[in-house]
Structure 1
Amino acid sequence: MSLIVVANRAPFRLTPEGLAPAVGGLATALLPVLEARGGVWVAAGEWGEKPIAPPRESRVRLLRVPLTEREWQGYYGGFANRVLWPLCHYFLERVELRREHFQDYLRVNRRFAEAVSGAWREGDVVFVQDYHLLLLPGLLRERIRAPIGFFFHIPWPSSGVFRILPWGRALVEGVLGADLVGFHTPEYVENFLRTAAYYGFPVEGNRVRVGERSVRVEAHPLGIDTRRFRELAEDPGVGAHARALRRLAGADRLILGVDRLDYTKGVLERLLAYERLLQSYPHWRGRVAFFQIATPSRTSVAAYRELKRRVDEAAGRILGNFLREDWVPLRYFYQTYSQEELAAFYRAADVAFITPLRDGMNLVALEYAYTAGEGVLVLSSLAGAAEYLKEALLVNPYDLDGMAATLDRALRMPLGERQERLEALKGRVEALEVQGWAERFLASLEG
């Protein structure tokens, strides 16, 4: 039985040595399963993108869905990222309800349906990914008789928020074309079930009735490649880099933040909370340093450029108010790092400060907990990972005073408590191992 994975992005990337699997996320989770079974990965052929094909030794066939510039901008830049992304993260003031963007989204989902239908053979299983393709399961249900799974990787909002969309019922009907719908947490499952009920679909337990069919809705939390991060934690080169970062910090304690520079990640609020720490707990001046990694993201979008401007201003103000000849309180790294480089930051940090304003899961929190030696994880209670990482110190990312107080507690935490919490977190991360996620979901779909 072959597998067809459908996602917006292809699972391969170009490197100086040639093609290689993309790092992290879906590629790490699904490529090994797809290689073992054999099958097809269907992805958008982004306008202007250089075509790529899988490595010759791969058992995976890559099928691209060609899109025009107009289609790409409307489907991806428009409906996916200016409607669904802000809505699902509760940034309602950023939602742009433009009907032409929904029409592009519908058109591209239909193009995906045609491509998948053409590639499908009797007995194949179809696994659709994420908010870019909400309509696709329903469109496939009209065309093929196959087990269809759908996984939503960002938060599904409350039904009261989702019903803001003029196309809400059509999107829910699209998702319910699947046999199994997956989310990271029970909260998102409950939100989806309530949304389906609002649009008139009968709900019994974790099942939604659609005509004669019954659609199951389940929580399947996605984790990380634990084997890979165990290797990185033990790598002598990573250890040497971590020691160099400690020397660069020049302080007793090092706090680390790692994010894309996206308005959902709470980077600005985190800098303000660190500023509040230095103001309210002056005994840490000269004794703590904060490294914030902010990976550039969607730099052509005005809202993201404005966010960068405000983050730059906050970083400049912190340095202007607290910098001393013998102490640099903040280093702000606006660049992209490899997994190996990030692992060195994880090993160096005493505290990871991961405080998104809303997040589907947040794999950085898992990576830090699994890679750190003696660190403390301070984690937003509004990240999906908070459902599973109970030994982290959970914070409200909108509460600057509360975050500053929790940072103070984390920095003062005794070694024994740090080790005990971190050991428990590592066990929880083991249970969420990324390839197990794909196997568990597919076993439920096929069973």
Structure 2
Amino acid sequence: MRRILALLFGLALASAFAQVRPQSIIVNPVPPNDLQVKVWVDKDPGKTGDPVYNFGENIEISVQVTQDAYVYLFGVRSTGEIDGILPNAYDQNNFLRAGEVRTYPSNAQYTFTVSPPAGQDRVLAVASRTPLDVSDIINIQTGQAKIRGADNLARSLSIVVRPIPSSDWVTDEAYYIAGNYTPPPPPPPATGTLSVGANISGANVLLNGRSVGNTPINLTLNPGTYTLEVRRSGYTPYRISATVQPGQTTQVYAQLQPLAPPPPPTGTLVVNSNVRGAEVLLNGRRVGFTPLTLTLNVGNYNLLVRRGGYSSFSTSFYLAPGSTAQINANLRNLTPPPPPPPPVIPNPGLNGSYTYFCRGGRLSVTYSGGQVRIFYDGANRLLNLTSPNTYTGGPYTWRVNGRNGTLYINGQLADSCSY
């Protein structure tokens, strides 16, 4: 047969069993977890090495999928020639059920025979949940490719799978040696491995801000320095810069710390009282003296405000988140206060008898301590000092201002006088 080469991921890890591996052809950036495909040749069912086939020797190729899928098999020779293996003119049905194993050739109508030149060849398996149109790559009836070279195959397949979600397709490869071929020494590794673990399994791993999977995870990366973040809900994110060296494994173990629980919601209580310094008890516990402002957790409270000699004040209230409860306690004095002393009215300083000349005539006024005697309306009137400079008796009021005086009767101005 025409020797067949596998289609590879451009950034995939070299398989552990491979001794020499060419660079991968195409990569699925986020391969599905549930859909996998495995391809192998009859001399190496365990895929432990590079089996050797002599020229003219027949070869059989087997494939298996973990989910129902359409399978496409391609061959890429070491010379760059591309062959179509499945589907072909004799096997048009390339739909496999989950767990089903098929081996090709599947009937006696055709065989695959190894032919010169010598080299390391690959078999590529592409599994897709939906059919792929590969008519621009392979003539299914003849098995001949319309392109040549692994790079062109990669470009063509990238176009074919582009409309399909990355969770709906996956690839695998198998290698074999055609003829008496000694592989060249492996080139120095072009990639390195970043191995990320964490004390919390299933934590999300972000590389340069893009999610690449969950812990634990091994990533095959180009050499360089990357910004690594590991995060999980309820934990403090872990961030670090990780440098990947060619052919080396950089290990990072993220110790995620649980976030502290958020503080309970609070509100504000403001307590005032008509008696300053009254004791304040909240749910039976003394918390201070009025006036008082407290920040409290949300909830129901019993408030008591008290002070010796006064009646107590009590109430219940609910403090809502972010609210302010304003409580004014009115405490009644239990001992009545003594009566106030009589007011002391200052005497205007006048003493003796004075004759005032008024508009209505003369007015004789005699001052004696807190009293004044005036002769008015044909009779003497005795008036008492009721406020500074003011004497009142019955309907009469005499108001003094220096050398001037004013007489009122029943609150009405009766006369203005002076001496």
**TM interval, short-chain normalised:** under 0.3
Structure (1/2) with the larger helix percentage = 1
Q: TM-score, normalised by structure 2?
A: 0.21
Q: Which has the higher contact order (CA 8 A, sep 6+)?
A: 1
Could you tell me the TM-score, scaled by structure 1's length? 0.20
Q: Which structure has the highest strand share of the two?
A: 2
